[in-house]
Structure 1
């Protein structure tokens, strides 16, 4: 990895340089929250955010996406060629970059790569930025607080400067042209270490650090806890809407008004939806909230780990804020902590 240092005052110039050739998506303040949006000026961007409402996932896996068009009269099918926009996602936190790396495992690096996702991923540069955790963040528990790959540049704030991790030639050339990058000094490296320690110390100590979560999910698979947790679920699917790693989708055919032509669409879906596990004939494999909530948590904390050697949850804490019924991985960790206390007694 190549490291350079730039002054914080050079940041607008870097963003402007990207905007010459790319559509730039960055965190923008909206009311009391932040969202990722296309910006028209570096002044639109606000990097002083804890967590955005939703992740930049939608720029790689859109909520609704046309896969093909069809004509029912002549039984013709035409592959849909979406226009891929060269884009920069600027200001992503480490948790969102790690979430994108997990989506890569499913849609890019698997046995059957998804051409729509792969095209958007290849056309997008990712510029990460360091952050300080909110009370609901627990990315440090599951190795999501540090992005080791999956980005082109990563900006580590060190006072009035940034220590820049450079991971691609394309981004390095733009950085070189827009800024005055220089080799890090010993003082820069010391300040980076101090900043890292401050971030580590800022995580909420009340969130339990539980080991062997995947094994505990198996051990307490039938515990009444899931009945209580699932019974609170409103099936609103807000958790999956804001989650940076949820990737379930439905395939729907949408007819045009003439009734003879239409398009096949991929639409975001959620395993907490009551109809998600319903099959032909009306049988529902997860008809109650207990089964749906347990399944979602199991996939996040056990199932994905078994297949890909990492949790599907990156600890961003968005679902903690989004769920009005207080259902989230932190409650699962607290349950496991309580079970340990019970055993100790």
Structure 2
């Protein structure tokens, strides 16, 4: 990994340099929150955001996309030509970069790569930026508060300057042309350690740091707690809508008005939706809130880990804010903490 330092005043020049060849997507203020959106000027970027309403996932896995078109009269299928936009996601936090890395495991690096996702991923550069945690963040518990790979540049604010971690030649060339990067000094490294320590000390310590979460998910799989948690679930699917790692989808064939031509579309889906596990014949494998909520938490905190050696949850805290029934991984951790206290009595 190559490290360089640039002045904070050079950041607009770096953004403009990216804009010469790419669509630049960055966090911008929208209402009372922040969203990732295409920008027309570096002045629009809000790098001091806490978190965005939804993650950059939508630029790799759109909420709705056409897979192919068909004509029933001649029984022909036409591959849909996806228009790929060269893009830079500027200002992604470490948790969101780690979330994209997890999506890569499913859609890009698996046995059967998804061509739509892969094409967008390979046409995208990612510029990460350091952040300070909000009260809802618990990415430190899952080791997602630092991004060790999955980005092209990562900017660590060290007070009027940025320590830049460089991991791609393409981004390095743009950085070199737009800024005046210099070798980090001992003072810069000291500032980096101070900034890192300050971030680590700012996490909400009321969130329990529970060890062996995956094992506990198995141990308490039949606990009445899931009945209580599932009974509160409104099945609104807000948790999945804002989650940076949820990747479930549905496939739908949509006919045109003539009833002869149409298209096959992929749309986001959610395992907390009542119809998600409904199959032909009317049987529903997860017909109640208890089973649906438990399944979602199990996949986040155990199932994905078993297959990919890492939690699917990255601790971004979006679901904590989105769920009106207070159903989220933090509540599950608190449940495990209570169980531990009961066992110790």
With normalisation by structure 2, the TM-score equals 1.00
How far 1:81 sits from its partner (Å)? 1.0
For 1:256-275, list aligned pairs within 5 A. Answer: 256-275=256-275
Q: Is residue 313 from structure 1 mapped to residue 308 from structure 2 by the alignment?
A: no
Shift of 1:59: 0.1
Instruction: Give the structure 1 partner of residue 228 of structure 2.
Output: 228
Residue in 1 aligned with 2:279?
A: 279
Q: Give the equivalent residue in structure 2 for 1:192.
A: 192
CA distance in 2, matches of 1:20, 1:110: 33
Runs of 4+ in 1 over 3 A off after TM superposition: none
- Report the counterpart of residue 8 of structure 1 in structure 2: 8
For the pair 1:293 / 2:293, whether they are aligned, the reply is yes
TM superposition shift of 1:342? 0.3
* 1:57 aligned counterpart, secondary structure: helix
How far apart are the structure 1 equivalents of 2:241 and 2:41? 28
DSSP 3-state at the match of 2:164: strand
Corresponding residue for residue 246 of structure 1: 246
Alpha-carbon separation, structure 2, partners of 1:258 and 1:37: 36
Q: What TM-score, normalized by structure 1, do the two folds share? A: 1.00
Deviation at 1:119, TM superposition (A): 0.3
Q: Deviations over 1:203-255 (max 9, x none)?
A: 00100000000000000000000000000000000000000000000000011
1:28 aligns with 2:28: yes
Q: Tell me, what secondary structure is at the counterpart of 1:251?
A: strand
Q: Secondary structure at the match of 2:125?
A: strand
Deviations along 1:246-288, one digit per CA (max 9) or x if unpaired, are: 0000000011111111100000000000000000000000000
Q: Unaligned regions of 5+ residues in structure 1, if any?
A: none
Q: Secondary structure of 1:182's match?
A: coil
Return the alpha-carbon distance in structure 1 between the equivalents of residues 168 and 257 of structure 2.
47
RMSD: 0.4
| Partner in structure 2 of residue 342 of structure 1 | 342
Q: Distance in 1 between matches of 2:272 and 2:74?
A: 39
Deviations 1:188-209 (A, max 9, x none): 0000000000000000010000
* 179-188 or 257-266: bigger deviation: 257-266
In 1, the alpha carbon distance for the partners of 2:173 and 2:108 equals 26
| Distance (Å, rounded) in 1 between the aligned partners of 2:16 and 2:50 | 24
Counterpart position of 1:133? 133
* SS of match in other structure, 2:10: helix
Tell me how far apart the structure 2 counterparts of residues 48 and 33 of structure 1 sit (CA, whole Å).
Answer: 12
The match for 2:86 is 86
5+ residue gaps, structure 2, are none
What CA distance in whole angstroms lies between the structure 1 residues aligned with 2:177 and 2:50? Answer: 30
- Secondary structure (helix, strand or coil) at the match of 1:330 reads helix
Query: Which residue number in structure 2 is paired with residue 171 of structure 1?
Result: 171
Matched with 1:157 is: 157
Q: Hey, what's the Cα distance between the residues in 1 that align with 2:111 and 2:103?
A: 14
Residue 65 (structure 1) shift: 0.8
1:78-130 deviation per Cα after TM superposition (whole angstroms, max 9, x unaligned): 01111100000000000000000000000000000000000000000000000
1:30 and 1:297 mapped to 2: Cα distance? 30
